[in-house]
Each structure stands twice: as structure tokens, then as C-alpha cells.
Amino acid sequence: MKTLVLVLGRLAWFVPTIIGLLAIVFFISHVIPADPAAFVAGENATPETIAAIREKLGLDKPLHIQFWHYLVSIAQGDMGRSIYTGRPVAEDLLSRLPATLELAIAAIIVASLIGIPLGVVSALRRNTWLDHGLRVVTIAGLAIASFWFAILLQLFFSMRLGVTPLHGRVEGWGPEPITGFYTIDAIIWQDPEILLDALRHMILPVTTLALPATATIVRFTRAGVLNALQSNYVLYETAMGYPRRLVVWKYVLRNALIGTVTQIGLIFGLLLAGAVVVEAVFDWPGLGLFAVNSILSSDYNAVMGFTLIAGAMFIVVNLLVDILQGMIDPRETR
């Protein structure tokens, strides 16, 4: 019952949050000195032609009227048409969404598989050389700029060593789409060649995205484990003579992961933001690259569509994290 109340409470804030997010992005994108009508008309267009296009696109109306018309269109399931591609924005976003999700999910899995054990080890070896070394690495992981790290990986592994592809998702054509995830589609079609190629193309962008995520998970797992080790129930279990490994992995880790699970939801939002840069560097055909091209062409509808879908995914993921957090520790459910 508490979980149902939690879900309903989060969903009640879904629409106001999305509207507020859209309003901020809408007004910011419309005050920058760029004219999408001029982009559509071309370099040699006359002022009359540009004015006619502005009227056709509804850009001649006041901002609050434009925003209201946009909300009405969204409520009807219409995100408008992209100036950059000439196709409906919804189709562009849906076609690129699997590429970004495949990258983000892989990065979260890698970061969790590496970050949680390292965080536990760092806490258990507190103030040793291993702990200090891991803390230095995590600070560096948070400080390094994603685009700079991505370029370094390309220069070393792709251009110097030639062991990984430079950009893209696969060489040539991908598998016939079923889910849009190249790795899953390759498995469904039983095509190991495309599967290995897709995994090779994912190595560098996933590494770039997973570095700051891993650093964050290590830090929060370490803090959670240290806090749990000082709790009364752990001291009791230790005094009862239970093996240290059993106490750590059965009792300490479950309570220590509460903060880590919460951070994973926030990390997902960071991965969406980081994907904009990473996809542009690796020419990864996902939402991030689409957003960059849309911003450069002042494609308002596409930018707003990206904002809408990114905000919706962030809210849904955080809802799932809240539910999972309640399952790990029912006391956290409100």
C-alpha cells in the first residue's frame, strides 16, 4: 500500500515538473540570437521570404502564445516537425532513443559492477594505501572532462593502437531492427559477427560515460559501508561470532547500498547529459547527437522534444529507484 501511495505521489508531480522543465527550455531557446526561419530559408533568402516562413512556423506570435500552442500540441501527441531532418520530431526521437539507452544502460551496469565492490573494499581497508589510492582515482574520475577523456581514448586506442573503432555503432549496416538495441538484435538474429562489432564500438563511449559514474558509486558505497560498520546491529553480529565476510555481504552491504541506489537514479540523468558530448565525439547516432545538431540549427521543436523525453525518462527512472529503495529497506518508503 505504501508503495502504491509513493507511486501515485510521484506521478502527481510528473505533469507539473515536465511543464516547468519545458517552460524553462522554451523561453531560453527563444531568447538566444538565432532564427530558425533563416535556417530554413537558406543563405540567399530575402527578408520577405524569411518573414513568410516565420509566420508559417508561428514564430511571429508572442512567446507565451507560442508556448501555449506547443503545450496543446504535446497534449494531442504532436511534437511538431523537425527543421533539421524534415520529419516528425517523435519519429526522430524514437528512432534514436535505443542507441542512447543502450549506451546509458551499459555504462550504468559497468559502473555498478566495478564501483560497488571497489567501494566496499575501500571501506574495509580504510586509511590504507589502497583506500587512499581509490579516493585519488575517484576524485580524478569526477574532475576529468568527458569530451577530453573521450578524445584521449580515441587518440590512443583507435588511432595509435587501432584496437577499437573510432566512431559509430557498427561497421556498415546494423542488424534488422527489432528492439533498436544492436547487441540484443544481433543476439535475436543469431549474428555473432555484428554482436562482436557492436560491442567493440561500445567500448570507448561506455568507458567515457562509466568513469564519472563509477567514481560516484565508489564514493557513496564507501560512505555507506563505513556508516553501516559502526551501527549497533553490525557490532552485535560481530560479537556473536559471525564470519566477517557474512556480516559484510549479508548485513552491511544491504543497508549501505541505500544511498548508492539513490545515486544511480541521479547518475542516469548525468548520463543523459553526458551523452550529448560523448555521442557528438564518437558520432553515436543517439539522442545526444540529435540534440547537438538540433541546437546548432536552432530547431526549437527538436530541442523541446529532446527535453521532454529526457525529463520523462529521468522522472521514471527516479520513480523506479524510489521503489527499489523501498524494497531494499522498507523503512525508506513513505
Mean pLDDT, rounded, for 3-21: 74
Q: What is the pLDDT of residue 43?
A: 66
Please give the DSSP secondary-structure letter assigned to residue 332.
G
Whether residue 67 is contained in a domain is answered as no
Sign of CA dihedral 20, 26, 28, 29: positive
Residue 88 β-bridge partners: 81
Whether residue 208 is contained in a domain is answered as yes
Mean pLDDT, rounded, for 116-141: 86
Q: State the Cα–Cα distance between residues 303 and 310, nearest whole angstrom.
A: 11
* Better-predicted residue by pLDDT, 117 or 311: 117
Residue 14 β-bridge partners: none
Mean pLDDT, rounded, for 307-329: 75
Whether residue 278 is contained in a domain is answered as yes
Q: What is the pLDDT of residue 237?
A: 67
pTM (two decimals) = 0.81
Whether residue 27 is contained in a domain is answered as no
CATH number of the structural domain spanning residue 130: 1.10.3720.10
Host domain of residue 119: 95-299+313-328
Mean pLDDT, rounded, for 122-148: 85
Q: How does residue 256 score in pLDDT terms, banded at 50, 70 and 90? A: confident
Q: Which three cell numbers stand for residue 331?
A: 523503512
Q: What is the pLDDT of residue 224?
A: 84
Q: What is the pLDDT of residue 207?
A: 93
Contact 36, 300 (CB under 8 A): yes
CA 307 to chain centre: 12
Residue 141 β-bridge partners: none
Q: State the Cα–Cα distance between residues 2 and 211, nearest whole angstrom.
A: 36
Whether residue 59 is contained in a domain is answered as no
Q: How does residue 208 score in pLDDT terms, banded at 50, 70 and 90? A: very high
Whether residue 54 is contained in a domain is answered as no
Structural domain count, the chain:
1
Q: Is the pLDDT of residue 196 over 90?
A: yes
Q: Residue 31, exposed/middle/buried by CB under 10 A (0-12, 13-18, 19+)?
A: exposed
Q: How does residue 328 score in pLDDT terms, banded at 50, 70 and 90? A: low
